[in-house]
C-alpha cells in the first residue's frame, strides 16, 4: 500500500502545480504577461516526471494486477490511454511555449485556451486515478501483493518536490514557494 501512498503524494504535488498554473490562466485572461520560461519548466516537469517516473510505476503496477478482474483491466486500459494522450498534450503545449519563446506569433487567447485545456486534462486524469483506479487496485490486491510489487519497482526521487531538487527546477521551485506564500 506504500506504493499507492507514494503515487497519491505525487498527485498532491502535481495538483499543487496545476492549481498554480490555473491561477496563471486567470492572470493571463486578465492581461498579465507570464514568464514563459517558468511555464515551460512547469510543463516540462509535469511531462518529464510523469513519463520517466510516475507512469512507468503505474504501468508496472497495472501489469502486476492484469487479468485479476475485468473491471480493473478496463480501468487500467483507460488510464493507459489517458497516459498516452497526456504525453502528447504535454508535448503540444511545450511546442506552443517554445514557439512563443522563439518569437513565433500566437494569439494569446489561443495559448491560454491550450493551457487551460491541458490543466483540465491533467486534473481530470488525476481525479480518475484517485476515485476509480486506486480503489479498484486496493480491492483486487491479495495479502502480500503490495510488498511483492514494491520489491520490483524502482525507487525514484522527485526532482521538484523531493529532498534533492534538480538544478533544472530550482527557479520553478522558488516560484512555487513564492506563489504559495502569496
Q: Residue 84 is part of a domain; what is its CATH number?
A: 1.20.120.520
pLDDT higher than 70, residue 42: yes
Are the beta carbons of 57 and 3 closer than 8 angstroms?
Answer: yes
Residue bearing the bigger pLDDT, 165 or 60: 60
For residue 113, CA distances in Å to 5, 26, 59, 141, 165 come to: 33, 11, 30, 40, 31
- Find, among 123, 86, 159, 90, the residue nearest to 12 by Cα: 123
Element holding 24 (H helix, E strand):
helix 2-29
pLDDT of residue 173: 75
Residues ≥6 apart with Cβ < 8 Å to 108: 28
- What is the model's pLDDT at position 179? 64
Domain count of the fold of the chain: 1
In terms of residue numbers, what domain contains 74?
2-181
Residues 6+ apart with CB under 8 A from 135: none
Classify residue 61 by its DSSP letter.
Answer: H
Helices 36-49 and 170-181 sit at what angle, rounded to 10 degrees? Answer: 110
Q: Check residues 179 and 170 and name the one with the higher pLDDT.
A: 170
Q: What pLDDT score does 52 carry?
A: 85
| Residue 109 confidence (pLDDT) | 93
Contact call for residues 57 and 7 (beta carbons, < 8 A): yes
**For residue 182, is pLDDT > 70?**
no
Residues in the chain: 182
- Phi, psi angles (nearest 5°) of residue 129: -65, -45
pLDDT at 36: 86
**Residue 165 burial (10 A CB sphere; 0-12, 13-18, 19+):** middle
Q: Average pLDDT, whole number, for the chain?
A: 89
d(CA 68, CA 62): 10
SS3 158: coil
pLDDT at 162: 75
**Which range, of 41-45, 73-77, 133-137, 165-169, averages the lowest pLDDT?**
165-169
Amino acid at each position: 500500500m506504500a506504493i499507492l501512498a507514494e503515487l497519491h503524494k505525487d498527485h498532491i504535488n502535481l495538483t499543487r502545480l496545476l492549481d498554480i498554473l490555473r491561477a496563471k490562466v486567470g492572470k493571463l485572461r486578465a492581461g498579465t504577461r507570464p514568464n514563459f520560461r517558468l511555464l515551460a519548466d512547469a510543463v516540462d516537469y509535469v511531462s518529464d516526471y510523469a513519463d520517466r517516473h510516475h507512469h512507468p510505476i503505474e504501468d508496472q503496477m497495472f501489469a502486476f494486477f492484469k487479468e485479476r478482474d475485468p473491471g480493473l483491466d478496463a480501468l487500467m486500459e483507460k488510464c493507459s490511454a489517458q497516459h498516452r494522450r497526456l504525453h502528447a498534450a504535454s508535448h503540444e503545449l511545450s511546442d506552443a511555449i517554445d514557439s512563443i519563446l522563439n518569437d513565433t506569433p500566437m494569439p494569446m487567447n489561443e495559448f491560454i485556451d491550450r493551457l487551460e485545456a491541458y490543466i483540465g486534462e491533467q486534473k481530470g486524469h488525476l481525479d480518475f486515478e484517485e476515485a476509480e483506479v486506486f480503489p479498484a487496485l486496493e480491492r483486487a490486491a491479495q495479502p502480500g501483493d503490495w510488498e511483492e510489487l514494491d520489491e520490483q519497482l524502482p525507487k525514484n526521487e522527485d526532482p521538484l518536490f523531493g529532498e534533492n531538487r534538480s538544478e533544472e527546477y530550482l527557479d520553478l521551485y522558488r516560484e512555487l514557494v513564492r506563489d504559495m506564500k502569496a
